[in-house]
Structure 1
Amino acid sequence: MTKACFDVLGIGNAIVDVLAKTEDDFLVAEGLHKGSMNLIDTERAEYLYNRMGPAIEASGGSAGNTVFGLASLGASTAFFGKVADDQLGEIFGHDMRSLGAHFECAPLIGGVPTARSMILISPDGERTMNTYLGAAVELTEADIDEEIVSKSAITYMEGYLWDKENAKNAFRKAARVAHQAGRKVSITLSDSFCVDRFRSEFLELLRTGQVDIVFANEPEVKALYQTADRGTALNALRADTKLSAVTLGAEGSVAISGNETFHVPACQVRELVDTTGAGDLYAAGFLYGITHDMGLERSATLGNFAAAEVIQHIGPRPEHDMRQAAEQAGLL
């Protein structure tokens, strides 16, 4: 097997995030379930945008955030995601390429606009996401560049992409190509509501070996196995996966592979501001560690470190040079 040109290839919804602080009363008034991810149409997107307070706009999407975090740590990255031939699409592509990620997906012409997500941040840092998927769900098998997949050590996909059949087929194609090239495939379960919609399909991906590495938080893994008990859920995940990493909030994270289990405590946080992107950046740190032979425990520690950085400010991407910060902390 030839040496990989890219450490990680991310596949996900190419979304521009619109982030604003809000009060819980606003969520109640708008019928929004705190902490959820809601798929909305164009009319609802415009309504919420007009009702939101002052906002910050930044290109995002779950896998895109992970790729950004990886690049900040010094990893070589690529990204597959569909944008429209519009201003937001140009902004997203420029952002990706400016951080050094390979991004050459052909834009959608003459169709729906580039996706955007209205992210409402509660006083406790919890985020409620209202996402208009637009062009993002138009990703197809034709957008999967087999050469790039074959040159990527790990192909990483977000569960959010699983809402459209064309996107599912695109990921399955990427997984086949990756495995044929002797590479690894990873998925993040993304959201417990997403798990509820696609539980049987996610379990099939795990149990048939289409996925090698699984990322989840505690609510997601409990939802996957329909249990309220953490230990039961983690043991079931151990049986179904070669390698998994589960974030536990303030308790840190757990990395599991066969009979090995590493429970790594969370990093100290000065102030919890916004949990947007915590799981995405955890995956970035963990995947950097795995692709640089750091072992499970050190990889989970780096994942915790990256997650801790992003939750101390508004927005899903690191504000500081992650590699420099990790080196100063003695993690690299």
Structure 2
Amino acid sequence: MNHYDVYAIGNALVDKEFEVDDSFFAEAGIQKGFMTLIEEDKQQQLLDLLSTRYPLKKQAGGGSAANSLYALSQFGGKAFYTCKVAGDEPGDFYMQELGNHNIETNLLPQREAGTTGRCVVMVTPDAERTMLTHLGISQYVSEQDIKVDAVKQAKYIYIEGYLVTSDSARAAAKRLRQIASDSNVKIAMTFSDPAMVEYFRDGVNEVLGDGVDLLFCNEQEAKIWSGEDDFEAACSKLKTIARQFAITRGARGARLFDGSGYIDIAAHNVKAVDTNGAGDMFSGAFMFAITQGMDFQQAGELASLAAATVVSEFGPRLAPDAHGAVLQKFQAA
């Protein structure tokens, strides 16, 4: 019997979100639309500069996989999360966030000294998100942090693509997929960000190994990984490393492959305020749906609705009670 719907591993980060103007990126020398790793002192300098120009919109427990598990758990799924935070105030905040959202974890009250990872998220008027991340102690998540018994009780494991930037985290991801494979637990992965497949391609392929059961990515990531400018050609290439996949396409909806054929999911016509977390929400809602017995069509439609809802608000997560409203709207459609 499965105790968990999804067991995930990822970077544990405290998100600090700001609304900024496009001119700020040119002034600060920042590449828009990507996640970039940055040293702690440089990140603090950026935060100091941002704080003089823009108000802090939101602080929340974040990280790609954590955002997906949050969505899954609020829809009613059961989740376990392996990550690493330090014994500092942000680490305490992060643990409280996980506990409040009913996500079980490997973390203990007494934790190592160090700095908890932090992500500065900047959202422009076109709703695009740009992130500068200092991983802190999160980059040292390791094989020792994996709870083997919990993995064996899961329907899926979920690997965050951001982990490929760290030798320790990459080794942990590979170990997790091996445990899952040996235990007949399905393997899901997300590319996470275009920067991962563009600048850390070898690490991504190392974690992909001989393929995954379910892959999540957006259209840009699919094209970069496949080396194809044509979307249909990119989809064909993805079939070589994913038995099933879900590709988000923004205003054009999503393309699913259920192992036998394509399913195109329509987008919802909404005014996007903040695209940060859209892909994470899509993945979380989708995994909730398929672990509860829905088919790919239903899972895609729920995920599309959930993603459209989250981009309509500021921040990568919905309020807990908003998930019930999304489910009711989906079931009434």
Q: TM-score, normalised by structure 2?
A: 0.95
- Pick one of 73, 84, 87 that aligns with 2:86: 84
What is the CA–CA distance in structure 1 between the aligned matches of 2:283 and 2:33, rounded to whole Å?
Answer: 19
| Percent of aligned pairs with the same amino acid | 31
TM-superposed CA distance for 1:108, in Å, is 4.6
Instruction: Determine the structure 1 residue equivalent to 2:219.
Output: 218
Instruction: Determine the structure 2 residue equivalent to 1:147.
Output: 149
Q: Report whether the alignment pairs 1:254 with 2:245.
A: no
Instruction: Determine the structure 1 residue equivalent to 2:239.
Output: 238
Q: Tell me: CA distance 1:281–1:325, structure 2 relative to 1, closer, same or farther (3 Å).
A: same
Would the aligned equivalents of 2:47 and 2:120 in 1 still touch at CA under 8 Å? yes
Give 2:275's aligned amino acid.
Answer: T
Unaligned runs of 5+ in 1: none
Instruction: Spell out, residue by residue over 1:142-166, the C-alpha distance to the aligned partner (whole angstroms, 9 max, x if none).
Output: 0001011111111111101111111
What is the CA–CA distance in structure 1 between the aligned matches of 2:228 and 2:332, rounded to whole Å?
Answer: 35
Q: Tell me: CA distance 1:206–1:100, structure 2 relative to 1, closer, same or farther (3 Å).
A: same
Q: Report whether the alignment pairs 1:58 with 2:47.
A: no
Give 1:185's aligned amino acid.
Answer: I
Instruction: Spell out, residue by residue over 1:191-211, the C-alpha distance to the aligned partner (whole angstroms, 9 max, x if none).
Output: 1111012323433544613x2
Would the aligned equivalents of 2:106 and 2:147 in 1 still touch at CA under 8 Å? no
What is the CA–CA distance in structure 1 between the aligned matches of 2:144 and 2:282, rounded to whole Å?
Answer: 30
TM-superposed CA distance for 1:244, in Å, is 0.5
What is the CA–CA distance in structure 2 between the aligned matches of 1:35 and 1:240, rounded to whole Å?
Answer: 26
Instruction: Determine the structure 2 residue equivalent to 1:316.
Output: 316
Give 1:293's aligned amino acid.
Answer: G
Q: Report whether the alignment pairs 1:134 with 2:136.
A: yes
Q: Tell me: CA distance 1:207–1:259, structure 2 relative to 1, closer, same or farther (3 Å).
A: farther
What is the CA–CA distance in structure 1 between the aligned matches of 2:210 and 2:138, rounded to whole Å?
Answer: 27
Q: Tell me: CA distance 1:198–1:331, structure 2 relative to 1, closer, same or farther (3 Å).
A: farther
TM-superposed CA distance for 1:229, in Å, is 1.0
Would the aligned equivalents of 1:78 and 1:102 in 2 still touch at CA under 8 Å? yes
Instruction: Determine the structure 2 residue equivalent to 1:165.
Output: 167
| Structure-to-structure mapping, 1:3-14, within 5 angstroms | 3-14=1-12
What is the CA–CA distance in structure 2 between the aligned matches of 1:157 and 1:331, rounded to whole Å?
Answer: 32
Q: Tell me: CA distance 1:71–1:223, structure 2 relative to 1, closer, same or farther (3 Å).
A: same
| Structure-to-structure mapping, 1:273-288, within 5 angstroms | 273-288=273-288
What is the CA–CA distance in structure 2 between the aligned matches of 1:216 and 1:331, rounded to whole Å?
Answer: 28
TM-superposed CA distance for 1:182, in Å, is 1.1
What is the CA–CA distance in structure 2 between the aligned matches of 1:159 and 1:116, rounded to whole Å?
Answer: 17
Unaligned runs of 5+ in 2: none
Instruction: Determine the structure 1 residue equivalent to 2:303.
Output: 303
What is the CA–CA distance in structure 2 between the aligned matches of 1:149 and 1:207, rounded to whole Å?
Answer: 19
What is the CA–CA distance in structure 2 between the aligned matches of 1:331 and 1:323, rounded to whole Å?
Answer: 12
Give 2:69's aligned amino acid.
Answer: V
Q: Specify the SS of the correspondent of 2:331.
A: coil
Q: TM-score, normalised by structure 1?
A: 0.95
Give the number of equivalent residue pairs. 327
Instruction: Determine the structure 2 residue equivalent to 1:192.
Output: 194
Q: Tell me: CA distance 1:205–1:84, structure 2 relative to 1, closer, same or farther (3 Å).
A: closer
Q: Report whether the alignment pairs 1:103 with 2:89.
A: no
Report the aligned-residue RMSD: 1.5
